[in-house]
Structure 1
Amino acid sequence: MGLRVSDLSVARGGIRVLEGLSFALAPGQALVLRGPNGIGKTTLLRTIAGLQPPVSGEVDAPAEALVYAGHADGIKATLTVRENLEFWAQAFGNSDISGAMAAFQLAPLGERPAGALSAGQKRRLGLARLLVTGREIWVLDEPTVSLDVEAVAMFAAAVRAHLAAGGLAVIATHIDLGLSEAEVLDVTPFKARPLEHDDFDGAFL
């Protein structure tokens, strides 16, 4: 189960931000996206994940293989940590949450309401959802926000295990995760050219 991006152009608010991107990943591979804030990494990831259409080009990957984790943790504050993971596992047709609980050291927090967690604990719970989806392709936008050094190591280990099992990942992050398996792509050279005056109306069509 691979991922291929071909001559992709993406837009934010009707304005192109990146264009001409191409890359391919095979099972077991990861790609780390680099680039300054605001250049369009989030827009690119949302397009790859199928949450918005591209301006042009193609993303070749089965929709049922993709899972996206953005800036929101996607947890229900009134449910416990365990109940949150059980909810997401059931939503994806799974039942075993033990691996996710162990990977992010959530067992001691299992019966705590998610709303009572610290920001870092919420982030760990949000990332643990990835492990219960059963999806092969992880599309991750700044996944280490709010994580301390220990939790970043937990996340990196989870990614390594995912790759070793034949999964793949596309990750936008400014942090060195220590993933020797990952290739790095700086998207700066793919920044879209500024709109000419005659292009202005077309940006909103």
Structure 2
Amino acid sequence: VNGSVDVVRRFECVCCTDSFKPEEVLRAPCQHYYCRTCVTSLVKACTKDESLFPIKCCKKPITATSLRSHLESDDLRDLFSLKIIEYNTPATRRVYCPKTRCSTFMGSLPSSSTREMTCQKCHAQACGICRGTAHVGKDCPQDKGCLEVREMAKRVGWQTCPKCMAVIQRVWGCNSMVCKCGTNFCYGCGATMLVCKGSCAKSAAY
């Protein structure tokens, strides 16, 4: 009786030239094949060198989905996903942690209404305008719009919250103001009511 033998086709990795089963290789758009070990090496190199992104074979990009599906390390898969976001963000809009020892990518420059960004790794805060260290309790020197508003506030007599620096206009009432951040301050002198206690020369009712 003649028996039959199932022949499993094997594919050669274009990098290491070893042979692998179909489920063990990634097929690039150019029809070349890569084993999991070589895919891992390519991705690791890419996460350290942006010039290697996107990963290509025969000048044709290999999809990130295909690459991720052939990575065995969850940590490397997550790192690669973060690097894809970083590399796809224009360099002029990238924000990195201001702490030199960290320098983690924090995301793209936020909208003008967001003044601070927090690093998810070391929790340091960066300015969402100049991308340097956050100016806690102060305006960013590069925020021209904010500086113009504060100059106008001085001219028309508006006050600034001593805690969050929000500009406040009083329509009517006494000088005891409560900002949206919860700070109770004197509209006359600008100090907190704990300091002013309503006894300053500018504490008269409006």
- TM category (shorter chain) comes to under 0.3
Which protein is richer in strand relative to its size? 1
Q: Which has the higher contact order (CA 8 A, sep 6+)?
A: 1
Which protein is richer in helix relative to its size? 1
TM-score, with length taken from structure 1: 0.23
Q: State which structure, 1 or 2, has the greater radius of gyration over its C-alpha atoms.
A: 2
TM-score, with length taken from structure 2: 0.23
